[in-house]
Chains A and B, each alone.
Chain A
Amino acid sequence: MLCIVSFVVLLVASAFSARHRKLLRQSWGCVTRRATFRACDSAFADDVKTSLLAPLALRAPRLVRPASAGLTVVAWVTVLSLALSAFVVARGGLNLLAYGTCDKQNPQACSLTADACTVMADEPGFWESLTSGDVVGAFRNEATSLADTVSTIPSRFRSWDAADFAPAYASYVGGYREGLPTVLEVLDPGCVFCARLYANIAESGLAERANVTFIAYPILRAGEPQFASSMLISRYLTAIRVFEADRDGGPAADPADWAIVRHLFTGSNAAGVGWQRWFNDHAAPAQAEAQLHAWLAEAGFSADDVAQVSALAASDRVAQLLDDSRSIVEDEIRTVTIPTLVGGGGLHRGLVSVDELRSWG
């Protein structure tokens, strides 16, 4: 192991000084033999150890044995940590390629993650599993996660058509128009980046050049919505779509769910608090539901309509539709960053700039 550590050190040293390169070649010879499980045929590793121990040997020879053992341990630890670091870096690179974040388990821990809300994995991480005693599970989960990442990468290089991922009862800004491309946004009603993306889409005028729709995807953390009202709002948004589709026999020309989204992402209450923030931080469930009812009434829904939407929102049918949407996001689109936009032939994680949105369509 010492020769491997020496090789790494000499590799760095050789970048700055040519006098280390002869030693580098020796250590490389030793490393290649180690890597192929052959005994190191040079005395290089011994020479390194001897030169490290010699000063101690002359002063305190009794400490040489423990120091020698310590060197061996340090060499092993160093090599293992190097290998681990290399694995983590490689895994991070693959994750970045596949999901737009170097840490799939906890995207917010990765500084390279796009401006987005992130979906944390439900499975315990490698170290969590290890510290909880589940050694087999730790390695199994790691291997499974890596395999998922690798299998996701090819999809990042294909051409994406949002129409393939539009959920049942999808509604479109201004109604569906034949001949226009489809743009699909995966959004969480509580995510601030979704609000910003909504603003960018509005500013870019994308809805005039494309059929813009969305999938309501309340981010879960440990089985609970990350944002307090996201699940309730998502149910209502889905229920509104079902109600209007059943009523109109197809996608509504002026869908009320988009009106709710507009209020949520752009409006604020009388106290000047943005609605999204109010729903996230202040609204009790009953207050939240009442506000949704108010917005429906404002959109022209009668009390009976509101009651029907409310009943639908609480129904298994809508719950199933939300599960289906979740399946599209997690199994087909396979994103861990919200918002995610499918459009312009590609998959775009996180916030998309106005300029880029203007270039579509």
Chain B
Amino acid sequence: MTAGQRRGLWPWRAPRAEPVRPEPSERYGFGYLAADAVYLDSACQTLRPEPVIDALDEYYLDYNACGGRVKYSWGRQVDERVEATRAAVLRTLGLPQRSYATSFTLNTTYGLNLLLQQLPAGRYRRVITTHTEHNSVFLATMSFARREGIERVLLERDAAGALVYRDEDLADALVVVSAMNNVDGAATAGLPELVAAVRRRGGTTVIDAAQAMAHAMPLVRGLKADAICFSAHKVYGASLGIVAASHELLSSLEVSFVGGGMVARVTEDDYTLLPELHTRLEAGLQPWAEIIALGKALEWLDGVPAATGESHEAREHRLAESLYDGLVGLPRMRLLGERGSSLLSLIPERVDGHRLAGFLSKADIMVRSGYFCTHHWLQEREGYDPLVRFSLGAHTTQDDVGRTLEVVGKLLRGL
């Protein structure tokens, strides 16, 4: 490196080189990314592949119109694509269109709250969740229990990650759990059995699939829960929330959050809701571009194996194993997560997690630090100091992993 390549007067400052673009095949769909940008916060928000960005551009540039029963061509185009996305969501989740509908909201948290705040009063004897939930579930169930005046049960997990419960506890229960946690990527084992057991006992199951949709789709595909909530922005789409819910659940809602787009008829003192059940959660104008972009994201994900010769999950698993193998031997830290998990968190022993993340940022490695909206689990229950989380995505390359291991290793050994 020549002095001219260095920045400023300080010789220890990292050089700022021109961004290097990777080979197109190396980052399928992310050719626009600079090779030296190592983004490892996909658990919060995945990067958007080019087709998704193109879909957003196309909407805004070519047919930027309202959907919802309009007669002009742009509006009809919007309606067609939105309906196609609804169908794509159900198809991706393996849910039948005859008994499930797709609603769009702001994000997973918003979707969960919309559902829980409008469930029939007095319908449930208890609400059940777990200690390891994201605040979106943890707080929404807390609020639900307080509003209904019912008990809230926090389940433990066994060594295999399955929830520990008795069947009788599920009677008339509202069960809200995640399919995969957002700290170490551990899957909730036995979800199909849980859903079946809850149904047998007259309860309702709502699944938080925010992480599973991007990193472990098989966990939720075909799962006949009453509702599955996730975020498009965690699965390569634009910012959007999705609720795929059964007709039975949607029709039972005591709708209180109401507005345009939900009603067929309005009189002086009353209104009639539209028969399409997905509208129960869709008050007001919808983010048409984002919905259409989600359809494109799911389509892009479907096309990954054909384009790269490797499934998205397999590729991520391979890179995650590499990351795990490099991290597990490092000193002065504790690693949370299994080999192959696309989410790994570490607790540094000699440096604050936020500071470590700050140091990594200086090396253009972007990771999240803190408690990842699981304060009860990590902070209150485990008493951990702030953690550092590495979450992989479809844009992640082996070079990203190698660079991360090199810098993290140097820091942990030296600090």
**A residues lining the B interface (CB < 8 Å):** 43, 46-47, 49-51, 53-62, 64-65
Contacts and interface: CB of A to CB of B under 8 A. Distances in A.
B10 A54 contact: no
B358 A47 contact: yes
19 contacts: A47-B358, A49-B355, A50-B358, A50-B359, A53-B359, A54-B359, A54-B361, A54-B362, A55-B10, A55-B13, A55-B14, A55-B362, A56-B12, A57-B362, A58-B12, A58-B362, A61-B413, A62-B414, A62-B415
A11 B414 CA distance: 35
A58 B407 contact: yes
Contacts of A61: 410-411, 413-415
Q: Which of A46, A47, A51, A58 has the most CB of B within 10 A?
A: A58
Given A61-B413, A61-B414, A51 B10 contact: no
B201 interface: no
Given A54-B361, A59-B12, A61-B410, 19 more contacts: A43-B354, A46-B354, A46-B355, A50-B354, A53-B355, A54-B358, A55-B14, A55-B362, A57-B362, A57-B415, A58-B362, A58-B363, A58-B410, A58-B411, A60-B414, A61-B413, A61-B414, A64-B414, A64-B415
Contacts of A59: 12
A50 B355 contact: yes
Nearest to B351: A64
Contacts of B355: 46, 49-50, 53
A57 B411 CA distance: 7
B252 to A, nearest CB: 43
Contacts of B359: 50, 53-54, 57-58
A55 B362 CA distance: 7
A98 B359 CA distance: 54
Q: Is the interface of A mostly helix, strand, loop or mixed?
A: helix
Contacts of A55: 10, 12-14, 362
Contacts of A49: 355
B354 to A, nearest CB: 6
B207 to A, nearest CB: 34
Interface string B341-381: 00000000001101100110111000000000000000000
Nearest to A59: B12
Q: Which of A53, A57, A62, A64 has the most CB of B within 10 A?
A: A57
Interface string B87-98: 000000000000
Interface in B182-221: none
Contact of B352 (A46, A57, A65): A46
A339 to B, nearest CB: 56
A60 B12 CA distance: 9
A49 B351 CA distance: 13
B355 to A, nearest CB: 5
Nearest to A47: B358
A53 B415 CA distance: 11
Contacts of B407: 58
Interface string B397-415: 0000000000100110111
Nearest to B14: A58
A57 B362 CA distance: 9
B216 to A, nearest CB: 32
Contacts of A57: 359, 362, 411, 414-415
A274 to B, nearest CB: 59
Given A55-B10, A55-B12, A65 B415 contact: yes
B372 to A, nearest CB: 16
A55 B12 CA distance: 7
A57 B352 CA distance: 13
Contacts of A54: 358-359, 361-362
A299 B407 CA distance: 97
Contacts of A60: 12, 414
A53 B355 CA distance: 9
Contacts of A58: 12, 14, 359, 362-363, 407, 410-411
A56 B410 CA distance: 12
A72 to B, nearest CB: 14
Contact of A51 (B13, B352, B358): B358
A102 to B, nearest CB: 39
Contacts of A64: 351, 414-415
A56 B363 CA distance: 11
Q: Top 8 closest A-B pairs, CB basis?
A: A61-B414, A50-B358, A54-B362, A59-B12, A57-B359, A62-B414, A50-B355, A61-B415
A55 B363 CA distance: 9
Contacts of A51: 358, 362
Q: Which of A51, A54, A62 has the most CB of B within 10 A?
A: A54
Nearest to A63: B414
Interface in B5-22: 10, 12-14
